[in-house]
């Protein structure tokens, strides 16, 4: 199978996931690296088995989007909009969520390592009080209220 950025192997996408995401903009097995990109703006984006590495996506509007089995490393989502977004079976390393709108965002079976949910450049806290964590492991994530959920 295809080996991803974190050394895992891609699995087939279940019919249940395909059915739920019908008619949504889909990115499948795409590799986004070393660029500044806000072209994903809009709701209901679907990212399956995608890799984001060394990306700058400040202020990106990814509300109600779904990230399924994605790997995100050294990516900047400063002041991005993740309202209602869902991240399932994802691995995140050194991702910057400072100032992001995380209201109603859900992490299911994810691993977050060294991700920053701390204060933005105006000194305001990143509000993670309504973020839902299910079977998600967090390690060294400043500003995150729910460590090791």
Which pLDDT does position 126 carry in this prediction? 93
What is each CA distance from 117 to 6, 36, 52, 67, 143, in whole angstroms? 22, 20, 18, 18, 5
Which pLDDT does position 108 carry in this prediction? 97
Which pLDDT does position 80 carry in this prediction? 93
Dump strand ranges (E) for 69-105.
71-73, 86-88, 91-93
Which pLDDT does position 44 carry in this prediction? 84
Which pLDDT does position 140 carry in this prediction? 95
Which pLDDT does position 97 carry in this prediction? 96
Q: Give the residue ranges of the chain where pLDDT is below 70.
A: 1-24, 37-42, 146-149
Q: Is the pTM higher than 0.85?
A: no
Whole-angstrom distance, CA of residue 30 vs CA of residue 48: 8
Which pLDDT does position 33 carry in this prediction? 86
């Amino acid at each position: 199978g295809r080996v991803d950025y974190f050394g895992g192997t891609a699995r087939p996408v279940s019919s249940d996931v395909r059915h739920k995401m019908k008619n949504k903009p889909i990115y499948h097995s795409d590799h986004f690296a070393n660029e500044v990109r806000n072209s994903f703006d809009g709701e209901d984006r679907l990212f399956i088995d995608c890799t984001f590495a060394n990306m700058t996506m400040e202020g990106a509007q990814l509300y109600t989007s779904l990230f399924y089995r994605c790997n995100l490393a050294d990516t900047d989502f400063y002041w991005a909009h993740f309202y209602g977004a869902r991240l399932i079976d994802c691995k995140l390393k050194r991702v910057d969520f400072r100032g992001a709108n995380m209201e109603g965002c859900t992490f299911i079976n994810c691993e977050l390592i060294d991700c920053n949910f701390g204060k933005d450049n105006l000194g305001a806290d990143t509000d993670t009080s309504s973020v839902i964590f299910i079977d998600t492991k967090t390690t060294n994530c400043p500003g995150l209220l729910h460590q090791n959920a």
